Structure 1
Amino acid sequence: MSFPALKDAQDRLAAKQKALHDIFTEAGPELDMDRVKSLPGTTEDKVTEIRARNDELDEIGRQFDDLQAIAKAFARSRQAPEEHSESGADPSGSPAQPDGTRTFGDLFTESVAYKGVQGQVGPEAHLDVELKTLFSTTAGWLPETTRTGKVVEFATRPVQLIDIIPATTTGQAAVVYMEETVLTNTAAETAEAAAYPEAALQLTEQTSPVRKVSVWLPVTDEQLDDEPQARGYVNNRMPFMLRQRLDAQILIGNGTAPNLRGILNTPGIQTQAKGGDPVPDAIYKGMVKCRVTGRALPNAAIIHPNDWQDIRLLRTADGLYIWGSPSEAGPDRIWGLGVVQSDAGPENTAVVGDFVNFSELSTRRGVDVQVSNSHADFFINGKQAIRADVRAALLVYRPAAFCTVTGI
């Protein structure tokens, strides 16, 4: 089913992107506004107009993102029930947990494993929790006496990339799909009684293996004695560790078992060198490669915070800020694409691509936690071993739908 509003937003987005790109091309690498003849007025007038056009582009980009999400949700709702098990539904048939239901920590503290740790070897319990649930961060402590109760979190990289990758589930050890690798279109006008031109199609089976990310943590019995503290402890830090590592694997995993193959190491993705271009121009050219060669519509850009800093501070030849003055927050978008500032990958390399349509994070199951005091000498030392893991596969369906922009 077609969505006219989505097509209209796509066309308007492309047109506005090109118009703004043409202005940057006129200005040249030095962003000299005197060279811009398509806009009237002084340098300040031209910069004001550029900002206005960029704001308009941001708004159209947000509208397009919303419409695209609605279209994909509608398409998924029309799939047969058996297809839903491979596209986001719980394989067991259980409905997704609504807001306000039991948390990860609630499941842990109510489990047989937690209730059985008092003075004996505790049994194990498996808790399956949706991976994309948002977790904050905290740490364990003894019952409060004279402390304020405030915990200062350790400074560490946040989870940023998982949420731009569509999530599905799988019940297999690998996700197998078919890729159309040959399409020879010989359709042509044909005279009466003449032979039809012969076309060719070829499908190739592709496989992405499910990999495991895991972590374990020793905890004393005393920390588990106080149930509210144990709930907060388990509910935050261990799932965050798993998600943070998986977040990095999405971008830089090398593909050698047991690693996932991240986007930057996927064969077939395109690349665009900055060269002598301004950074915005180089990113736009990468977007065009995704459109023309990848036949895709890029919807996000991953940029290192230090590189985004340089973009945000871009100024014209006479010192005016392109992305807004220091008194303004400025947009977290470029050419209408949402910008994900992530330091999981290297500096000086950005990634643009169609993450919505041509990438997928398929989980074999959510976070699984097990607890026992049978590890080593933990029983006689009053300790518990808590381990957690998640199994997932990353799929990049069309590598050419992604492009790195280097040297920025």
Structure 2
Amino acid sequence: MTAEAAERLIEFPALKEAQGALDAKRKELHDIMTEAGPEFDMAKVKSISGDTQAKVAHMRALNEAIEERKSKVDELLIVARSAAIAREQEAASEKGAESGTRRGEGGDGTRTKDGRRRSFGEMFVGSQACKGYVRGSGQGPQAQLDVDLKTLMTTLTGWAPETTRTGRVEEFPTRPAPDVAELIPQTTTNQISVVYMEETVFDNTAAETGEGDQYPEARLKLEEKSSPVRKIPVYLPVTDELFEDEPRAESYVNNRLPFMLRQRLDFQILRGNGTAPNLVGTQNVQGILSQPLGGDPVPDALYKAMRRIRDTGFAEPSVVFITPAKWEPVRLLRTADGIYIWGHPSMPGPATIWGVPVKETTAAPATSALLGDYANFAELAVRRGIDVQVSNSHDDFFIRGKLAVRADLRVALIHYRPSAFAEVTGL
């Protein structure tokens, strides 16, 4: 569109009126915000009567009116542009006719000067629809092309649109990791087993005696304990082409396999049965305390387990592991008049019960809660962290163009003081 045609848009009466109405509303809203100042103090606004709520409601109404008028102006701009383009083309046609310009033999523009029928592309490029189209306007002049086309060309029968896949990979819904391991103190070891001494007898006979009387004899006994290093492995077969043709595939596999190991480790920490090559999880440690739910509410049973840990294990519980399904009724406990006991739903902060942090995880037993002083009496000794390797030497992978991606870790899990841990059963 020429500059002259663009100037004519402003002269379009309906457009000019709509633009003026839009500018007026914009100025009214601007003046109100200027009155309010940078602090948006509605008390300073004198151009609107009423309290703060009334003034804010008036500003919302102004904003809605601005949006409506803006849409109207946009519609009129499209109409005005189309009209201006049509006038330009009409003037150009008249000028061409006066100078004797011919569209082609027969005057219909479908043939060239030498009598050859114009191609679809030639007719389209020379048409008013192409020449008069303004990018971004949404509309333009129409033109009829005389084309012998038997089959309608669509996205189904002609040229399918190209689609580009996004970079997002939506992972399978599964338990996040690590839920549990992050709450266990971690150390390193270069041995195949963590060996330590446990005091199994502590007979304190200290007592007051008279002058010359025999001292009471105390008794202590130590036993050697050990926790073997166990390996948790996993592998995944892939083809050579997958890693060659999809740049992100290698990093995807290298991330998911370690995730699987950490997820399994969480399960083993809480529920490993101790039968080689399993770790001994908290639930299966010999000597941990057991507190049945019985007829108690869940919070009461948890408190009793905590009290027993303090009385018997002389330890302070650092965390409670419980499944989301079993924590839900605790979190939703309400008084008779509907007040949430464990805090309002909008209350921020981590979940706690009796001051002890709660970790909701599906790695916990389905019908039990495990708790204890993991901070002081549990340890995860790492012999080797997660190691990822790739090889084609497995089976017939070399001649079939396959790769085996494997990952593993080696750790030992120790519960130094069994009585510092407890299981609440029967949930």
- 1:394 corresponds to which letter in structure 2? L
Separation in 1 of the partners of 2:340 and 2:349?
10
Q: Give the number of equivalent residue pairs.
A: 264
Task: Return the match for 1:171 from 190, 194, 211.
Answer: 190
For 1:156 and 1:150, locate their aligned partners in 2 and report how far apart those are by CA, in whole Å.
Answer: 17
CA separation in 1, counterparts of 2:329 and 2:363? 18
- In structure 2, the partner of 1:149 is 167
- Provide the rounded CA distance (Å) in 2 between the counterparts of 1:228 and 1:339: 41
| Per-residue CA distance 1:35-60 (angstroms, 9 max, x = gap) | xxxxxxxxxxxxxxxxxxxxxxxxxx
More deviation, 225-234/182-191: 225-234
Output the amino acid matched with 2:407. A
Cα displacement (A) at 1:192: 2.2
Which letter maps to 2:176? P
| Secondary structure of 2:338's aligned partner | coil
| Shift in Å, 1:218 | 1.0
Q: Secondary structure at the match of 1:153?
A: coil
The aligned residue for residue 308 of structure 1 is 327
CA distance in 2: counterparts of 1:214 and 1:331, whole angstroms:
33
CA contact (8 A) 2:236 2:405 kept: yes
Measured against aligned partners, the alpha-carbon deviations of 1:145-179 in whole angstroms (never above 9, x if no partner) come to 82111110111111211111111111111111100
* Aligned-residue offset at 1:183: 0.8
Shift of 1:373: 1.0
Q: Distance in 1 between matches of 2:197 and 2:386?
A: 28
Aligned partners of 1:161 and 1:250 also within 8 Å: yes
Normalising to structure 2: TM-score of the pair?
0.59
Larger Rg: 2
Contact 2:321–2:364 (8 Å) recurs in 1: no
Name the residue aligned to 1:95. none
- Is 1:211 matched up with 2:230? yes
Tell me the equivalent position of 2:268: 249
**Residue number in structure 1 paired with 2:337:** 318
Structure 1 stretches of 4+ moved >3 Å: 325-331
Counterpart of 2:214 in structure 1: which amino acid?
Answer: A
Query: Counterpart of 1:386 in 2: which secondary structure?
Result: strand
Write the distance in 1 (CA, Å) between the matches of 2:360 and 2:228: 28
**Aligned partners of 1:216 and 1:386 also within 8 Å:** yes
Matched ranges for 1:81-120 at <5 A: none
Q: Secondary structure in 2 aligned to 1:363?
A: strand
Task: Indicate the residue corresponding to 1:292 in structure 2.
Answer: 311
Aligned-partner Cα distance in 1 for 2:403–2:366: 40
Distance 1:331 1:358 in 2: 23
Q: 1:370 aligns with which of 372, 384, 389?
A: 389
Distance 1:215 1:278 in 2: 41
Q: Does 1:266 align with 2:256?
A: no
| Alpha-carbon distance, 1:297 to partner | 0.7
Determine if contact 1:294/1:400 at 8 Å carries over to the other structure.
yes
The 1-side partners of 2:330 and 2:278 are apart by 32
CA distance in 2, matches of 1:340, 1:319: 26
Q: Give 2:154's aligned residue.
A: none
Measured after TM superposition, the shift of residue 381 of structure 1 is 2.2
SS where residue 255 of structure 1 aligns?
A: coil
3-state DSSP of counterpart to 2:248: helix
Deviation per residue, 1:244-287 (Å, 9 max, x gap): 11110111111111111111011111011222222211111110
Whole-Å Cα distance in 2 between the matches of residues 390 and 253 of structure 1?
16
Aligned to 1:190: 209
Distance 1:317 1:279 in 2: 18
- Establish whether residue 352 from structure 1 lines up as the match of residue 358 from structure 2: no
| Secondary structure, aligned partner of 2:320 | strand
Match of 2:357 among 338, 346, 355: 338
RCO higher in structure (CA 8 A, sep ≥6): 1
Identify the residue that residue 200 of structure 1 maps to in structure 2. 219
Q: Is the 8 A contact 1:324 1:330 kept in 2?
A: no
Identity %, equivalent residues: 62
CA contact (8 A) 1:272 1:406 kept: yes
CA pair 326-193 structure 1, distance change in 2 beyond 3 A: closer
Determine the C-alpha separation between the residues in 2 that align with 1:152 and 1:306.
25
Unaligned ranges ≥5, structure 2: 1-162
The CA deviation at 1:404 is: 0.9
Q: Is the 8 A contact 2:364 2:370 kept in 1?
A: no
Distance 1:363 1:327, change over 3 A: closer
Query: CA offsets per residue over residues 62-105 of structure 1, 9 Å max, x none?
Result: xxxxxxxxxxxxxxxxxxxxxxxxxxxxxxxxxxxxxxxxxxxx
Distance of 2:379 and 2:279 partners within structure 1? 12
Q: Deviations over 1:8-35 (max 9, x none)?
A: xxxxxxxxxxxxxxxxxxxxxxxxxxxx
**What is the distance in 1 between the residues matched to 2:350 and 2:380?**
28
Q: What is the distance in 1 between the residues matched to 2:386 and 2:257?
A: 9
Paired with 2:270 and 2:217, the residues of 1 have a C-alpha distance of 41
d(CA) in 1 for partners of 2:360, 2:242: 36
Letter in 1 for 2:172: F
Alpha-carbon RMSD across the aligned residues, in angstroms, is 1.8
Which one-letter code corresponds to 2:175 in the other structure? R
Number of the residue aligned with 1:39: none
Task: Kindly indicate whether the alpha-carbon contact (under 8 Å) linking 1:308 and 1:341 is maintained by their aligned counterparts in 2.
Answer: yes
What is the letter of the counterpart of residue 183 of structure 1? F
Residues 215-248 of structure 1 deviation map (CA, whole Å, 9 limit, x = unaligned) = 0111222232269525522441111111111110
Distance in 2 of aligned mates of 1:196 and 1:338: 46
Q: Aligned to 2:196, what secondary structure does the other structure show?
A: strand
Distance 1:190 1:154 in 2: 71
Q: Which residue of 1 aligns with 2:257?
A: 238
Q: Residues 187 and 381 of structure 2 are in contact (CA less than 8 Å); yes or no, is this contact kept in structure 1?
A: yes
Q: Shift of residue 180 of structure 1?
A: 0.2
| In 1, Cα distance between equivalents of 2:200 and 2:353 | 32
User: Deviations along 1:285-310, whole A, 9 cap, x unmatched?
Assistant: 11000000011111110011001111
The one-letter code sitting in structure 2 at the alignment partner of 1:166 is: P
Q: Is the 8 A contact 1:358 1:401 kept in 2?
A: yes
